[in-house]
Amino acid sequence: MSDGSRAAMEQEALVFCSDTELGYLRARTPFAAGHSLMLDESYRLAHLPLVAPTHPGVIARKEGRSYEMGRHPAIFSLVLPIEEDLLNTSAPLARLDDELRRAPFASKIAWDILPRRADRVHATLCGTLSTEAAPVIDQSVREAISAIGPFQVELRGLFSGNVNQGRLYLRLYPENRDGTNPIQAIQAAFGRQPGDLYLVGLYNLTDDLDASETAALVALLERWWDEPLLRFEATALWVLGACDDLVLDATLPETLPLHAGPAGPMPRLRP
C-alpha cells in the first residue's frame, strides 16, 4: 500500500467529537423568523469599540467591568493556534469567505480586521491563566500536556452564538480518542472544568442587521453548519496575552509542545 493510500485510510478512520458531545447546538443564537440580529451588550462593550469606534451603540465603559473602549488590563490564556498558512490554503474556507463577501450584509463586516488578526487566529481552551504578567506553568502540567500528545482537529462553520452576538466563528471539533476528548484532558491538566465550546473567532459585524440581512445570515449558517473547512494536527499550544478580546495587541510569551522534547522555534506575531 502506498503512503498516500495509507494516509487517506487513516484520515477516513478518524472520529471527531460530535454535536451531541459538544455545546454548539445549545449555544447558537436564538434566531426568530422576521427578527433582526441586534449586537448584544457584551459585543458592544468588548468588540464594537475595536471595529467601529464611532458607532452610537458602542459601550465605552461599564461599571464593574474593566473595559475602556474595548481595551482591558492584560490577560494571558491558553489557546490552540490555527496556522495562517492552513487558513489561506483551505478551498472550502475560501468559498465561505466569498459567500460572505457577496452577502447582503457584507458591508457590515469589518474586513480590515482580518489581516490584522491572521497570524493569531485561535480557539481559547483555558481563559485567564493570569493577569498583568505571563503565568508560571508547573513542570507537572508540562509533562501532562506532553503525555496527551498531538491530536487531530476539524474546523466547521459558520457559527453565531448566544453571547457576543455580532461575532461570527468557526467551530473546532477535536479527535475522539476511544471516547475521550483531548482538549478536556488539557483543561484537566490546568485544573479547569471540562469545556465543550472551542470557538475560532473570525468575522466581526460593525452594525446591527435588518430582518432581510438576518435571514440571509441564517441561511448561510444553516448551509455551512456541517461543512468541514479544514483538518490539521494540533502539535502545540500557545500562552497568549492581550489587552483586547480580538488580540490585536497580542504577545506570545510561550509555546507548549504537545510532545516530549524541546519546543520548536517560537513563532513571531506581526506588530
132-179 pLDDT tens trace? 999 999 999 999 999 999 999 999 999 999 999 999 999 999 999 989
Whether 133 and 270 have beta carbons less than 8 Å apart is answered as: no
Q: What are 240's three cell numbers?
A: 497568549
> Which pLDDT does position 1 carry in this prediction?
40
Statement: residue 5 has pLDDT above 80: no
Tens digits of per-residue pLDDT, 82-140? 999 999 999 999 999 999 999 999 999 999 999 999 999 999 999 999 999 999 999 99
At the second CATH level, the architecture of 74-257 is Alpha-Beta Complex (3.90)
Spell out the residues 6+ positions from residue 144 whose beta carbon is closer than 8 angstroms to its own.
Answer: 189
Instruction: Examine the pLDDT at 6 and tell me if it is beyond 90.
Output: no
pLDDT tens track for 35-64: 999 999 999 999 999 999 999 999 999 999
In which band, very low, low, confident or very high, does the pLDDT at 260 lie, cut at 50, 70 and 90? confident
Give 11's pLDDT tier (boundaries 50, 70, 90).
low
Q: Which three cell numbers stand for residue 36?
A: 433582526
Is there a contact between 230 and 155 (Cβ–Cβ < 8 Å)?
Answer: yes
pLDDT band for position 271 (50/70/90)? Answer: confident
pLDDT of residue 178: 87
Amino acid at 246: L
Distance CA 135, CA 128 (A): 9
Q: Identify the band that residue 259 occupies on the pLDDT scale cut at 50, 70 and 90.
A: confident
Whole-structure pTM value = 0.93
> Given this model, what pLDDT does residue 7 score?
45
What does the pLDDT read at residue 12?
Answer: 58
Question: 8 pLDDT exceeds 80?
Answer: no
pLDDT in tens, 182-225: 999 999 999 999 999 999 999 999 999 999 999 999 999 999 99
Contact yes or no for 70/46 (Cβ under 8 A): yes
Residue 236 pLDDT > 70, yes or no? yes
CA dist list (Å): 153 to 32, 150, 220, 230, 250? 32, 10, 23, 8, 24
